[in-house]
Amino acid sequence: MNSVLTSVPPYVLLAVAALAVLALPRRLGHAAAALATAFTFVQAVLLDDGGTGAHLATQLFGFDVVFFNVDQFSLLMGVVVGFLATAAVLYAYGTEAPTWVTAFALIYVSSTVATIYAGDWLTLIFFWELMAVTSTLLVWQYGGEAVRAGYRYALFHGIGGTFFLGAVVVHGASMLGSVPAAEIFLFSSTTGIHASATLLAAIGIGINCGFIFLHTWLPDTYPRPHVAASVFLSVFTTKTAAYVMYRAFPEGGMWLAYLGGFMAVYGAFFALLQYNPRRLLSYHIQAQLGYMLAGFGLATYVGEFAVTGGFAHLFNNVLYKSLLFMAVGVVIYRTGVEDIRDMGGLWRVMPVTFLVYLVGAASITAVPGFNGFISKGMVIDSAHEVHNYELLFGEGLLWWLLILGGVGTFMSFIKLGYYMFFHGSATLSPKDATPFQTAGMLLAGGACVFFGTPFTYGYLIDLMPFTAEVASELHPYSTSHLTESAWLMGAGFVGFFALKRPLGWLAHRMPDADAVTYPAVFYLARGSIWGVTELWAAVDRAVMNAVAAVEWTAMHPREALGRAGVDVEIRTGIGRSVLFLTLAAGVALFVFVLG
């Protein structure tokens, strides 16, 4: 059974399904797509621990490569990506997504799954770059504003991909000698990426993770394409990046943990300032990635518990973040409005959407009973054990950052919900979600609840790595956790309504890093292009003039001498010829006789 399953790489099926979406009628095509994504999910569930191993291993360019590497981490990614992609395909069908959107989305999912199942850095970097290409296509498909944003997105990911490629090359070169040459790129040869490639890898993967200052593509791109495309985009690139980050740095590091902490605060803070719902959610992607990275970063300091926390949060984030994008997408799809201040009172006309939003918001804000509560709690618990830079109440800086991020998250989702569904009288009266949208949202939302209740959260832990070590330590519904959560919520409510005005004021004045980086990059690029062009032109002119001068001098030696003020006959006449001959004979005699 397993051997059959492990011989079928799911991403090939997904790629075929992408073609099927284009070739078949819309309904059939989407059915095929949903089947392919569902297969990805079912395969990962069925394989479970029994299927681990390096499958489809072969050689490419003389290097060992593994096209289907099954272990606990890739399986958990396969489960959630397959599950969510199925929901997203249903949602896309219900949102009248053009077949091209679904096709691009599927090929994007395909490259994502291939990245997840890669068993060596060579395969991984290949599909990583492919992911950047396919996601760019998915953005571009929408046209309009998405095209320019797509260009910026492509630039970011091109640069990031190049850094990461450099890291892979450095890694390979550094591995030479310590393992057989063919095996230098295999994951199994080392733990993580070689130390010499740390910086390159951190920057390359960090761009996809949305590191602070490298994150601006996130809120720039994700609000612009088709709403169904946003659902796909919001989930795969960043979460795969977090997963690859763990692959590269399985031992973590405090730098990663603190970076995660700051990302949580930074993302939540900027989310708080947004009025475009998808832009707000995009900033939250950065914030939530911060929690995951904080968990991975504590891998050594705290141990498996933190790693599991990070992965659990990754897993949950895929579910609730796409759920939120779906809910917001429904509102945008039905109303065509992209500013939450223009919405309001929608809970009466869109009760289903409102409920779904509530589930998603409760999950992301870690309300007890929803999956975010479990995983965020695990990360915060891990941070609890870090006591560098102690601040108030004997808690360390990291813990405070994560808590602060949590409060900010709370505030921003109160804001989002308040503006969309309450806030003044209803001026719009759109219909509620379509059946297939509802189906997609129910799948994702159901999972959010399923993995969060006190009775069923164990299944989440079962899916995680290090289940045995972690299960015994995990008590999410302890009194302290519930109290913590209550404080968090309280602070969030109070904070939002107290700071509503100053935040509104700030929203118009607070620029993100892109206010500096985009013009800087633009003018730098324009300047360098101008410089290179002009420099080349100058070199060209100089060379051509020099060549022309040499040529002219060679062709008119007499005239050239004349211009230099030397007026002599340079042709050798009869007299001079005889002189030369005599001299030559004389020299020959002299040398030959005396030499």
Contact 344, 422 (CB under 8 A): yes
By the rule CB under 8 A, 572 interacts with other proteins: yes
User: Cβ of residue 531: shortest distance to other proteins, in angstroms?
Assistant: 23
Residue 425: CB atoms within 10 A of its CB come to 6
Considering the complex, state which of residue 392 and residue 591 has its C-beta at the smaller distance from other proteins.
591
Q: Does 494 help bind other proteins (rule: CB under 8 A)?
A: no
The number of C-alpha atoms within 13 Å of 371 and in the hemisphere containing its C-beta is 29
∠ CA(353), CA(355), CA(358), 5° rounding? 110
* 576: contact with other proteins by CB under 8 A: yes
Q: Which is nearer to other proteins, 191 or 582 (CB)?
A: 582
Nearest CA to 409 among 373, 460, 365, 445?
365
Q: Is 578 a residue that touches other proteins (CB under 8 A)?
A: yes
| Residue 173 found at the interface with other proteins (CB under 8 A) | no
User: Scanning residues 532 to 561, which ones bind other proteins (CB under 8 A)?
Assistant: 544-545, 547-549, 551-557
Binder to other proteins among 46, 524, 566, 588 (CB under 8 A)?
Answer: 588
**Distance (Å, whole) CA 539 – CA 532:** 10
Q: Is 502 in the site for other proteins (CB under 8 A)?
A: no
**Whole-angstrom distance, CA of residue 454 vs CA of residue 369:** 7
Closer of 524 and 578 to other proteins (Cβ)? 578
| Nearer Cβ to other proteins (471/566) | 566
1 is a contact residue toward other proteins (CB under 8 A): no
Whose Cβ is closer to other proteins: residue 8's or residue 561's?
561
- For residue 16, what are its two tokens? 């075929």
593 touches other proteins by CB under 8 A: yes
Cα–Cα distance, 133 to 158 (Å, whole number): 9
- CA-based diameter of the chain, in Å? 120
Burial 31-70 (b: 16+ CB within 10 A, else e): bbbbbbbbbbbbbbeebeeebbebbbbeeeeebbbbbbbb
410 and 492 in contact (C-beta within 8 Å)?
yes
The contact pattern for other proteins, residues 234-253, with x = CB under 8 A and - = no contact, is --------------------
388 is an interface residue for other proteins by CB under 8 A: no
Judged by CB under 8 A, does residue 587 bind other proteins?
yes
Out of 456, 528, 533, 577, the only residue in the binding site for other proteins (CB under 8 A) is: 577
C-beta of 590: minimal distance to other proteins in Å? 8
Terminal C-alpha separation, the chain: 94
CA distance 237 to 239: 6
- Closest CB to other proteins among residues 339, 551: 551
Q: Which is nearer to other proteins, 195 or 546 (CB)?
A: 546
Which CB atom, from 391 or from 542, has the smaller least distance to other proteins? Answer: 542
Q: Is 595 one of the binding residues for other proteins (CB under 8 A)?
A: yes
Taking CB under 8 A as the binding criterion, the range among 171-179, 409-417, 467-475, 571-579 that sits at the site for other proteins is 571-579
Q: Which is nearer to other proteins, 397 or 560 (CB)?
A: 560
Task: Say how many residues touch other proteins, by CB under 8 A.
Answer: 31
Does 429 bind other proteins (CB under 8 A)? Our answer is no
Regarding 582 and contact with other proteins (CB under 8 A), the answer is yes
Q: Minimum CB separation from other proteins for residue 529, in Å?
A: 24
Helix locations, 185-303, DSSP H? 198-209, 217-221, 227-248, 254-272, 277-297
DSSP string, 492-549: HHHHHHHHHHHHHHHHTT---THHHHHHHHHHHHHHHHHHHHHHHHHHHHHHHHHHHH
Q: CB under 8 Å to 264, separation ≥6 — which residues?
A: 287, 288, 290, 291, 294, 401, 402, 404, 405, 406, 408
Does position 585 bind other proteins by CB under 8 A?
Answer: yes
Residue 475 or 576 having the CB closest to other proteins: 576
Residues contributing to the site for other proteins (CB under 8 A): 544-545, 547-549, 551-557, 571-574, 576-578, 580-582, 584-585, 587-589, 591-593, 595
